[in-house]
Amino acid sequence: MPEMPEVELVAQTLNKLVGGRKIIVAELLRERLAPFNSAADFAERLQNSKIMRVDRRGKHILFDLNNGHTLIAHLRMSGRFMLLPLERENPKYTHAAFYFADESRLVFQDQRHFGFMRITETGKLHEAKELKSLAPEPFSDEFSPKYFREILKTSKKSLKEFLLDQTKVTGLGNIYASEAMFLAQINPQVSANKVSARKAGNLFEKIREVLRESIAHGSTLNVNPENIDASYYGGGYSFGWRVYNRENESCVKCGTAIVRLKQAGRSTYFCPKCQK
Ligand SMILES: [Zn+2]
């Protein structure tokens, strides 16, 4: 499943590739992809709309249209965008297609059927159920060391579970939570409200660092417009993980074997010596 940095890279790439372009016709080919819009409504709201900008909020990709609507898209497990020329057929599992004037089209393909789309009025975007409970973005001014210290105090959950809670911190998934805690040298099992102010300040910096590093790295990769998402997932950055997916391998700092444990059903990786 893509995490925030990968979604950011996909949104940035989509903005470059289709920002400013006009959708002539849109087709919803799997109705359950957009449970709040019928196929007819989907087509009608997108027809002849110009994509002003493609942006991101949490792991949602936002297509800001010039007709007062925004298309919200979530890739979930396996959703991907593909910008295809006329001569290419729609791949299997094409669930939506957006046709442009030059006869190219943007396709949303989703082998595992968990993807999500919704078209909503841009003026009511902040009220959309998918977005309204999300915490501040990690690179926004609202996400400050003070905010982070105070929100940590409100939770008795383990730090790892706290970091995955998108109503507290937006943008950290399983991979980058482990990576940030490693860099900040904090034990993932400590209660969020027991993290000292000094450690909270350090972790705040490391959260930004791991996300920034991943986005910067992804920005250097070659992107295939016909398979945008695959250009980022699990590719380049996975070689740079310090603890994630490295059970029993040596800690890059001290050589101790990396430990994997389950927290709320998900794997956490950490160094028991560096992260006491
Ligand atoms: Zn270590």
pLDDT digits (tens, 9 = 90+) for 13-43: 999 999 999 999 999 999 999 999 999 999 9
Looking at the structure, tell me whether residues 263 and 232 fall in a common domain.
yes
Helix (H, G, I), strand (E, B) or coil at 60: strand
Here the tokens at position 9 are 């890279």
CATH code (residue 194) = 1.10.8.50
Looking at the structure, tell me whether residues 155 and 80 fall in a common domain.
no
Check whether 232 has a pLDDT greater than 90.
no
Looking at the structure, tell me whether residues 84 and 153 fall in a common domain.
no
Query: How far from 255 is each of 37, 184, 241, CA to CA, in Å?
Result: 53, 17, 15
Looking at the structure, tell me whether residues 60 and 23 fall in a common domain.
yes
Active site residues: 2-3, 59, 266
Query: How far from 51 is each of 71, 86, 215, CA to CA, in Å?
Result: 10, 20, 23
Residue 276 counted as domain residue:
no
Looking at the structure, tell me whether residues 65 and 110 fall in a common domain.
yes
How many domains is the chain partitioned into structurally?
2
Looking at the structure, tell me whether residues 179 and 217 fall in a common domain.
yes
Check whether 154 has a pLDDT greater than 70.
yes
pLDDT above 70: percentage of residues in the chain = 96
Which residue, 98, 132, 166, sits at the end of a domain?
132
Give the distance (Å) from ligand 1 centre to CA of residue 259: 10
Predicted local distance difference test score (pLDDT) of residue 271? 98
Give the distance (Å) from ligand 1 centre to CA of residue 250: 8
Which residue, 74, 102, 132, sits at the end of a domain?
132
Give the distance (Å) from ligand 1 centre to CA of residue 163: 21
Query: Domain residues for 90?
Result: 4-132
Looking at the structure, tell me whether residues 153 and 107 fall in a common domain.
no
Residue 83 counted as domain residue:
yes
Residue 10 counted as domain residue:
yes
Contact between residue 263 and residue 158 where contact means Cβ atoms under 8 Å apart: yes
Looking at the structure, tell me whether residues 17 and 89 fall in a common domain.
yes
Looking at the structure, tell me whether residues 124 and 191 fall in a common domain.
no
pLDDT above 90: percentage of residues in the chain = 86
Give the distance (Å) from ligand 1 centre to CA of residue 179: 12
Looking at the structure, tell me whether residues 173 and 259 fall in a common domain.
yes
Q: Which protein residues have their CB within 5 A of the ion that is ligand 1?
A: 251, 253-254, 256, 271, 273-274
Decide: pTM greater than 0.85.
yes
Residue 137 counted as domain residue:
no
Residues pairing with 69 in the sheet: 121
Looking at the structure, tell me whether residues 122 and 169 fall in a common domain.
no
Give the distance (Å) from ligand 1 centre to CA of residue 183: 10
Looking at the structure, tell me whether residues 117 and 151 fall in a common domain.
no
CATH code (residue 49) = 3.20.190.10
Predicted local distance difference test score (pLDDT) of residue 235? 46
Give the distance (Å) from ligand 1 centre to CA of residue 193: 24
